[in-house]
């Protein structure tokens, strides 16, 4: 019996596995790297053990160390999650040798599916439909060119050992082949340690449909419905749903049948997924993932199953009897992957610290997260923060509920794709079930935020900020230390502030009309708007009127010289330049200037022993692609600058020390 499990993973999947283990009364051992010292997965486990430094090679991929920890702590089994060691047959083999159960299939099943080339040719021989294609390994340039021409263009080059959508290149014409092939080989070798390459026909806008498999060690193989994972960016899934929609019964049953054949042909045991590409009622085997998938929750919700529990039971050598048939599918589930990334900048990852993370608590919503408020999304690992999953009586209902979830999730301090996800499911083609892998490309203009919505949030931020500042002033002014600040009375004149968004500066003049109304002027953009703030508890959702038109569902946070404003999931991270506010803040600092954020020192403007004037910039820190200036709080002498350009600093690190004149 498995009583103690080590989870060789991190982030949301580690916390998700922990949840099931605890419900089964199993003791959980977590492992963590330096960067994950305070991570949620380590906090939630019964015991957590340090694994190594932040580099994955020295921690989550270091299986010798993991096995050593497992032996020392007498764990019965290891759950690998997905990614990292989950599809590494050498790891599974080493566990077997050490008498530790691997929660996954046998070494030989894993091996047969670990290279796309081998898997493909094996499946082709077994009669499973595959796209025309070939292994480029060991072939001369001429042979490759000939084979490509025979298949016809476009073609796709894939790293045979690849994963996560990496190492794929589309070839549109003959003269691109050799160049792209060479690049792909180099990339495959450096990313996956193997330069084996597969070339196959490229379908322009297919659907990605996959079948969930569960098999025990007694010959019971179940196909647990299918999923559509066609909504992808850079060949990586972002929205997944179950069951796959708009598929005729014959095709659906054909895929389930073939998936079962695949599993049978390699005597599969445990949970696995067979992936197909579907185009015009023809489907083609793409690959098998011999592990739990990121998107497994959508299957769990429509079937009322816990796949992690089933994996553990299979590893326990239990016979799995499921009363499963077509009618077992109830309702519809959709998952959205929340990433710390900037969709507009080619989905560039944007790590950083999460300041707020509130998620609506509803029975029809599920949040699988690796992070909570105050946690750091590190640049060492995948930028996925969480998965938001909705369950509805039907697809339309699930879309509506997912949209509600995305609009009412408050995720601040870190750039993310929540608004982008919401926009995807709101495109009418999504509701009309017209989905394929080209969807994001095709509807790109509808998915990125418009200039109007950006301007609206910027202008609102200017009004809200002045309101916030006066509340801040009032609370500070109650303290005897702050009653000497030269604050003009409300309504007297204009306040000048600048908001910086993505290096662009917006200069505002804000006139305080009364305690809740503000005239916000941006001369450069010729904008004049009257804002009325309808409720002013900044810890809650706010609503405003702009020229009498209601704007709802706003969250507004000020943290040092950063502003986070969010409307229905669309958020901006802004930098504020406001001499008055900085003055109030700097009053408090005595002698030492600490970094307000974790980041990199971009520029050092001062030296030891230098005389500086109040307000001079001493150091600029870059974090989450934004610049934060550390200013001299008073005129005086620098005692010591503790940083160099390029240095990484933690939040609270003392950047400089000085003495008042």
Q: List, by residue number, the catalytic residues.
A: 291
- Please, which residue, 131 or 292, has the CB nearer to ligand ADP? 131
- Please, which residue, 246 or 475, has the CB nearer to ligand ADP? 246
- Give the shortest CB-633-to-ligand ADP separation in angstroms: 51
Decide if residue 287 touches ligand ADP (CB under 6 A).
yes
- Please, which residue, 165 or 304, has the CB nearer to ligand ADP? 165
Decide if residue 353 touches ligand ADP (CB under 6 A).
no
- Please, which residue, 26 or 209, has the CB nearer to ligand ADP? 209
Stretch that binds ligand ADP, among 9-17, 195-203, 321-329, 527-535 (CB under 6 A): 195-203
In terms of residues, how long is the chain? Answer: 661
Decide if residue 243 touches ligand ADP (CB under 6 A).
no
- Please, which residue, 81 or 596, has the CB nearer to ligand ADP? 81
- Give the shortest CB-205-to-ligand ADP separation in angstroms: 8
- Please, which residue, 76 or 226, has the CB nearer to ligand ADP? 226
Q: Which of 62, 160, 232, 571 binds ligand ADP (CB under 6 A)?
A: 232
Both structure tokens of 203: 């379908």
Q: Which of 19, 235, 546, 600 binds ligand ADP (CB under 6 A)?
A: 235
- Please, which residue, 166 or 577, has the CB nearer to ligand ADP? 166
- Give the shortest CB-245-to-ligand ADP separation in angstroms: 17
Decide if residue 275 touches ligand ADP (CB under 6 A).
yes
- Please, which residue, 34 or 438, has the CB nearer to ligand ADP? 438
- Give the shortest CB-289-to-ligand ADP separation in angstroms: 8
Stretch that binds ligand ADP, among 25-33, 164-172, 624-632, 651-659 (CB under 6 A): 164-172
Stretch that binds ligand ADP, among 15-23, 25-33, 162-170, 505-513 (CB under 6 A): 162-170
Both structure tokens of 293: 């998938």
Exposed/middle/buried for residue 215 (C-beta within 10 Å: 0-12, 13-18, 19+): buried
Decide if residue 208 touches ligand ADP (CB under 6 A).
yes
Stretch that binds ligand ADP, among 85-93, 158-166, 532-540, 645-653 (CB under 6 A): 158-166
Q: C-alpha angle 203/206/212, rounded to 5°?
A: 120
Q: What is the DSSP string of 220-248?
A: -EEEEEEEEEEEEETTEEEEEEESPSS--
* CA contacts within 13 A on the Cβ side of 218: 8
- Please, which residue, 168 or 427, has the CB nearer to ligand ADP? 168
Asked if residues 530 and 518 have their Cβ atoms less than 8 Å apart, the reply is yes
Partnered with residue 533 across adjacent β-strands are 544
Torsion of CA 274, 279, 284, 285, to 10 degrees: -20
Query: Cα-flanking dihedrals φ and ψ of residue 40, to 5°?
Result: -55, -45
Stretch that binds ligand ADP, among 79-87, 194-202, 241-249, 488-496 (CB under 6 A): 194-202
Both structure tokens of 611: 């005389």
Decide if residue 156 touches ligand ADP (CB under 6 A).
yes
- Please, which residue, 247 or 631, has the CB nearer to ligand ADP? 247
Partnered with residue 497 across adjacent β-strands are 508
Q: How far is CA 2 from CA 14, 77, 291, 306, 453, in A?
A: 17, 7, 19, 17, 53
Stretch that binds ligand ADP, among 135-143, 163-171, 335-343, 479-487 (CB under 6 A): 163-171
Exposed/middle/buried for residue 605 (C-beta within 10 Å: 0-12, 13-18, 19+): middle
DSSP percent split of the chain into helix, strand, coil, nearest 5: 30, 35, 35
Give the closest residue to 162 by CA, choosing from 195, 129, 137: 195
- Give the shortest CB-65-to-ligand ADP separation in angstroms: 27
Could you give the CA distance from residue 477 to residue 540 in angstroms, rounded to a whole number?
A: 23
Decide if residue 272 touches ligand ADP (CB under 6 A).
no
Q: Is the peptide bond preceding residue 309 cis, with omega within 30 degrees of 0? A: no
Report strand pairing: 384-392 vs 365-369: antiparallel
Decide if residue 164 touches ligand ADP (CB under 6 A).
yes
CA 262 to chain centre: 31
Decide if residue 286 touches ligand ADP (CB under 6 A).
yes
- Give the shortest CB-206-to-ligand ADP separation in angstroms: 5
Q: Which of 162, 331, 392, 569 binds ligand ADP (CB under 6 A)?
A: 162
Both structure tokens of 544: 């405003």
Both structure tokens of 342: 């900037």
Residues sharing a CB contact under 8 Å with residue 15, sequence separation 6 or more, in sequence order: 40, 41, 44, 368, 369, 370
Q: Which of 42, 66, 67, 203 binds ligand ADP (CB under 6 A)?
A: 203
Stretch that binds ligand ADP, among 165-173, 315-323, 467-475, 509-517 (CB under 6 A): 165-173
Decide if residue 653 touches ligand ADP (CB under 6 A).
no
Footprint (CB under 6 A) of ligand ADP, residues 414-443: 437
Could you give the CA distance from residue 434 to residue 429 in angstroms, rounded to a whole number?
A: 5
Could you give the CA distance from residue 484 to residue 470 in angstroms, rounded to a whole number?
A: 15
Footprint (CB under 6 A) of ligand ADP, residues 115-154: 131
- Give the shortest CB-151-to-ligand ADP separation in angstroms: 11
Could you give the CA distance from residue 524 to residue 446 in angstroms, rounded to a whole number?
A: 27
Binding-residue total with ligand ADP (CB under 6 A): 21
Q: How far is CA 126 from CA 122, 223, 276, in A?
A: 6, 18, 16
Q: Which residues bind ligand ADP (CB under 6 A)?
A: 131, 156, 162-166, 168, 200-203, 206, 208, 232, 235, 275, 277, 286-287, 437
């Amino acid at each position: 019996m498995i009583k103690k499990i080590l989870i060789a993973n991190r982030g949301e999947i580690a916390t998700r596995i922990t949840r099931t283990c605890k419900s089964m009364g199993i003791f959980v051992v977590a492992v963590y790297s330096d960067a994950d010292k305070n991570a949620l997965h380590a906090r939630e486990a019964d015991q957590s053990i340090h694994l190594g430094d932040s580099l994955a090679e020295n921690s989550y991929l270091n299986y010798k160390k993991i096995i050593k920890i497992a032996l020392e702590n007498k764990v019965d089994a290891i759950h690998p999650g997905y990614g990292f060691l989950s599809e590494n047959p050498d790891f599974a083999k080493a566990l077997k040798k050490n008498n530790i159960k691997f929660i996954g299939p046998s070494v030989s099943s894993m091996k047969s599916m670990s290279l796309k080339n081998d898997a493909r040719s094996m499946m082709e021989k077994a009669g499973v439909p595959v796209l025309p294609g070939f292994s480029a390994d060991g072939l001369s340039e001429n042979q490759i060119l000939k084979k490509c021409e025979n298949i016809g263009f476009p073609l796709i080059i894939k790293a045979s050992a690849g994963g996560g959508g990496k190492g794929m290149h589309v070839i549109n014409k003959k003269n691109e082949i050799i160049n792209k092939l060479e690049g792909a080989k180099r990339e495959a070798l450096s990313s996956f340690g193997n330069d084996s390459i597969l070339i196959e026909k490229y379908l322009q806008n297919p659907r990605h449909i996959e079948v969930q498999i569960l098999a025990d060690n007694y010959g019971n193989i179940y196909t647990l419905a299918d999923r559509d994972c066609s909504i992808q960016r850079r060949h990586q899934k972002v929205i997944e749903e179950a069951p796959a929609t708009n598929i005729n019964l014959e095709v659906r049953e054909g895929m389930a049948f073939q998936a079962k054949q695949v599993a049978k042909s390699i005597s599969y045991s445990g949970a696995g997924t067979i992936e197909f590409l579907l185009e015009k009622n023809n489907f083609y085997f793409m690959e098998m993932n011999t592990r739990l998938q990121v998107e497994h929750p959508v299957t769990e919700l429509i079937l009322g199953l816990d796949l992690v529990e089933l994996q553990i039971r299979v590893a326990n050598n239990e016979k799995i009897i499921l009363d499963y048939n077509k009618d077992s599918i109830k309702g519809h589930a959709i998952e959205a992957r929340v990433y710390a990334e900037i969709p507009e900048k080619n989905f560039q990852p944007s790590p950083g610290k999460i300041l707020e993370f509130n998620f609506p608590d509803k029975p029809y919503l599920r949040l699988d997260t690796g992070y909570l408020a105050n946690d750091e999304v590190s640049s060492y690992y995948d930028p996925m923060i969480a998965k938001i999953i909705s369950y509805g009586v039907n697809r339309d209902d699930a879309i509506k509920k997912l949209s509600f979830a995305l609009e009412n999730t408050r995720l601040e301090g870190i750039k993310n794709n929540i608004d982008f996800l919401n926009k995807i499911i709101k495109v009418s083609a999504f509701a009309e079930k017209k989905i394929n892998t080209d969807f994001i490309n095709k509807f790109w203009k509808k998915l990125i935020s418009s200039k109007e919505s950006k301007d609206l949030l910027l202008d609102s931020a200017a009004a809200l900020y002045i309101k916030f500042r006066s509340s801040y002033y009032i609370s500070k002014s109650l303290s005897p230390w702050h009653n000497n600040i030269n604050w003009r009375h409300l309504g007297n004149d204009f306040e000048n502030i600048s908001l910086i968004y993505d290096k662009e500066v917006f200069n505002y003049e804000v006139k305080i009309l009364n305690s809740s109304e503000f005239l916000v002027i941006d001369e450069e953009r010729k904008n004049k708007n009257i804002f009325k703030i309808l409720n002013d508890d900044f810890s809650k959702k706010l609503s405003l009127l702009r020229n009498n038109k209601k704007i709802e569902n706003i969250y507004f946070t000020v943290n040092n010289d950063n502003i986070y404003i969010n409307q229905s999931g669309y958020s901006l991270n802004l930098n504020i330049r406001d001499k008055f506010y900085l003055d109030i803040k700097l009053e408090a600092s005595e002698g030492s200037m600490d970094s307000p954020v974790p980041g990199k020192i971009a520029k050092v403007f001062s030296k030891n022993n230098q005389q500086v004037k109040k307000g001079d910039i001493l150091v600029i820190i870059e974090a989450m692609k934004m610049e934060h200036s550390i200013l001299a709080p008073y005129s005086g002498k620098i005692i010591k600058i503790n940083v160099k350009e390029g240095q990484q600093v933690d939040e609270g690190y003392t950047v400089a020390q000085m003495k008042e004149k």
